[in-house]
């Protein structure tokens, strides 16, 4: 069955940028709920043995009557796992090495990349995600609604930010731009 990996840090470790109020319920209720419901939906299916990434990348293998539900649950599981594992108490700053070089190559500068990613995060109307992805060797910034992920359209997600209200409301209320600014202090560029 699909497994929710442990957080690689404690619920208090990303404070003050992201505090327990936006980590604990989010991880133990929202994300855990998606995983439990995904396992329940596929309990009697061989698909429960597929890797999460391959399931999300090719939903055509899911029976039509189940596809919409599995897309939501598997997409949300995949997105949350990448989100949690993109964060670290030792995060922040700027990337170095190959990623830094690729960002300069495709965006002109780190600052321009950050500006575009923040703008995509702020402009996503309603629930969704912002992304940095590798699309056939070129980095790109995008946003998606609900559970959608660039993995569903053939790109390789590298970094994501959850901009569903449940990701920030208890700490930042309606101030999504403040949440986006806080995110940059805990991005784990090594991941
Ligand atoms: Mn979420």
Instruction: Determine the distance separating the centroid of ligand 1 and the alpha carbon of 108, expressed in angstroms.
Output: 31
Helix (H), strand (E) at residue 112: helix 110-123
Taking the centre of ligand 1 as the mean of its atom positions, its distance from the CA of residue 97, in whole angstroms, is 30
CA of 88 to the centre of ligand 1 (A): 17
Structure confidence at residue 46 (pLDDT): 93
CA gyration radius for the chain?
Answer: 16
Farthest-apart Cα atoms in the chain, separation: 49
Comparing CA positions, the residue from 8, 69, 34 lying closest to residue 164 is 34
Give the distance (Å) from ligand 1 centre to CA of residue 161: 9
Give the integer Cα–Cα distance in Å for 108 and 85.
26
For ligand 1, the distance from its centroid to the CA atom of residue 87, given in whole angstroms, is 14
Q: What is the pLDDT of residues 48-67, one digit of tens each?
A: 999 999 999 999 999 999 99
Task: Give the tokens for residue 181.
Answer: 């600014």
Residues 6+ apart with CB under 8 A from 14: 23, 87, 89, 186
pLDDT for the residue 75: 98
Contact yes or no for 32/61 (Cβ under 8 A): no
Rounded to an integer, what distance in angstroms lies between the CA atom of residue 78 and that of residue 4?
10
Q: Are 174 and 185 in contact (CB under 8 A)?
A: no
Which residue, 102, 104, 176, is CA-closest to 143? 176
* Token pair listed for 141: 């910034």
Rounded (10°) angle between helices 97-107 and 110-123: 70
Structure tokens at 29: 């209720």
Please give the backbone phi and psi of residue 95, each rounded to the nearest 5 degrees, phi first: -70, 160
What's the confidence (pLDDT) of residue 103? Answer: 98
**Cα 123 to middle of ligand 1, angstroms:** 17
What is the structure's pLDDT at 13? Answer: 98
Whole-number pLDDT of residue 77: 98
pLDDT in tens, 87-120: 999 999 999 999 999 999 999 999 999 999 999 9
> Are the beta carbons of 51 and 78 closer than 8 angstroms?
no
Q: How far is the CA of 127 from the centre of ligand 1 (A)?
A: 9
What string of pLDDT tens digits covers the 191 residues of the chain?
A: 999 999 999 999 999 999 999 999 999 999 999 999 999 999 999 999 999 999 999 999 999 999 999 999 999 999 999 999 999 999 999 999 999 999 999 999 999 999 999 999 999 999 999 999 999 999 999 999 999 999 999 999 999 999 999 999 999 999 999 999 999 999 999 99
Q: Measured in angstroms, how far is the CA atom of residue 83 from the centroid of ligand 1?
A: 9
79 Cα: distance to centroid of ligand 1 (angstroms): 8
Query: Pick from 81, 176, 163, 79: which is nearest to 127 by CA?
Result: 163
Whether this prediction's pTM lies above 0.95 is answered by yes
What is the rounded CA–CA span in Å between residue 63 and residue 73?
15
Q: Does a cis peptide bond (omega within 30 degrees of 0) precede residue 16?
A: yes
Distance 184 CA to ligand 1 centre (A): 17
Ligand 1 midpoint to CA 142 (Å): 17
pLDDT of residue 21: 97
């Amino acid at each position: 069955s699909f497994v929710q990996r442990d957080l690689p840090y404690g619920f208090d470790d990303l404070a003050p940028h992201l505090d327990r109020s936006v980590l604990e319920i989010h991880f133990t209720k929202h994300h855990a709920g998606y995983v439990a419901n995904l396992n329940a939906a596929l309990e009697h299916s061989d698909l429960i043995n597929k890797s999460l990434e391959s399931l999300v990348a090719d939903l055509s293998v899911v029976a039509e009557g189940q596809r919409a539900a599995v897309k939501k649950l598997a997409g949300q599981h995949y997105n949350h796992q990448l989100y949690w594992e993109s964060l670290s108490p030792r995060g922040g700053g700027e990337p170095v090495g190959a990623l830094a070089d690729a960002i300069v190559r495709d965006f002109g500068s780190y600052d321009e990349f950050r500006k575009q990613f923040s703008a995509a995060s702020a402009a996503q109307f309603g629930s969704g995600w912002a992304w940095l992805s590798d699309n056939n060797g070129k980095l790109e910034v995008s946003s998606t609604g609900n559970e959608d992920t660039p993995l569903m359209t053939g790109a390789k997600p590298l970094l994501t930010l959850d901009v569903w209200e449940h990701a920030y409301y208890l700490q930042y209320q309606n101030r999504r731009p403040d949440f986006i600014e806080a995110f940059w202090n805990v991005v784990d560029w090594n991941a």
